A = this chain, B = another copy of it.
Amino acid sequence: MTDERFYPPINFASLDAHASAFETARVVVLPVPYDSTVTARAGTRDGPQAIIEASADMELYDVGVGLEPYRHGIHTMPELAPHTGSPEAMIDRIEEVVGELLDAGKFVVTLGGEHTVAVGAVRAHAKRTPGLSVLAFDAHSDLRDSYLDSHYNHACTLRRAHEVAPVTQVGLRSASAEDAALIRDERLGFYSPSALRDAGAQAVVERLSDDVYITIDLDCFDPSEMAAVGTPEPGGLHWDEVSALLTAVNRTKRVVGFDLTELSPSLGPRSCAQLAAKLAYRLIGLALGPVE
C-alpha cells in the first residue's frame, strides 16, 4: 500500500513499487552513463539521470496516443558502470547486459550516454532477432570505420551497427565527404529532413524489415527543440515529424527495442530532458500498444 505522504521512488515515470517491479515488468529501462569517446563537449553521462528525473513530470496517460504505457510495467535498472579499460570492453559489457535482459523476456530501453552505447544494444538484439533491421535517427552519418584511433568512437556508431543489421537513417545533415560518397555509392537509405519530407514516412518504413530496432541520437532533432547535445546541427527534425514517423513504423513493423542517446543536459534547457522522457514513453506505448 502506498503511503500518500511520500513521493514515489526515483525511477522512470515515477512508478510505485507494484508498477516498477522487475519480475512483472514487460519493459526494462537501462541507464548507461557513458561518454568516453565524445570529442566535442562532454556531459552525456548525465543524460540517463536527467531523463529519469524529467519523466516524473509526465502524466502516466499519454494523451497523444491515448494509452497508459506504464501498465505494461516498467522497471528501471541501476546505472551501468563504465568500463574504463577501453571503449571496446564497455561495448561488450553493454551487449552482455542487454542480452541478459532480452533473455529474461524484457523489452529493453537503453538510455545513453554517447551514441556508441547503441552498438552494444544493437548487437545484443541482432544476435537474437534474425533479419533485424535498424532505424537510426541522427544528424550525422557516423559511418567512419575508425576515428581518433578507435573503431568504437562515437563517429563510427552507424558503421558498426550496419555490420550486424542494415541501417536506415533519418535526420542527416552532416557527413564527411567520404561518408557522403559511401552513402551515394552504396545507395544507403540515409534521409536528410527535406528528403524525408519529400519521400514521406511510408518510404522509410518500406526500407525496414519486419523486426526493427530503433536507435535515436537526439541530435536528429532541430536544435530549437533539442539544444542539449554535443554537436547540434541546424535544420533538423521536429517533434511532430519524429512522432509521426514512429507511429507509422509501429503500424506495420514490430519494434523489438530501442535506445535514446546523446542527451547532454547542461548544454540546453530542461525542456530537452522532458522531450526525451516523453519520446521514450511514447515509443514504449507505440511499440507495446494497449495492455490486453
Chain A residues engaging chain B, CB cutoff 8 angstroms: 4-10, 35-37, 39-43, 45-46, 57-61, 63-64, 66, 68, 77-87, 89, 93, 96-97, 147-150, 152-153, 172-177, 180, 192, 194, 222-225, 227-229, 231-235, 239-240, 243, 266-271, 274-275, 278-279
Contacts and interface: CB of A to CB of B under 8 A. Distances in A.
A10 B78 CA distance: 8
Given A63-B175, A150-B85, A267-B270, A43 B40 contact: no
Contacts of A82: 39, 148
| Copies of this chain per assembly | 6
Q: Does more than half of chain A's interface fall in helix, strand or loop, or is it mixed?
A: loop
A89 B37 CA distance: 13
Nearest to A43: B42
A147 B97 CA distance: 20
A175 B84 contact: no
Given A84-B147, A222-B224, A173 B270 contact: no
Nearest to A229: B271
Given A84-B150, A149-B89, A268 B267 contact: no
Contacts of A61: 175-177, 180
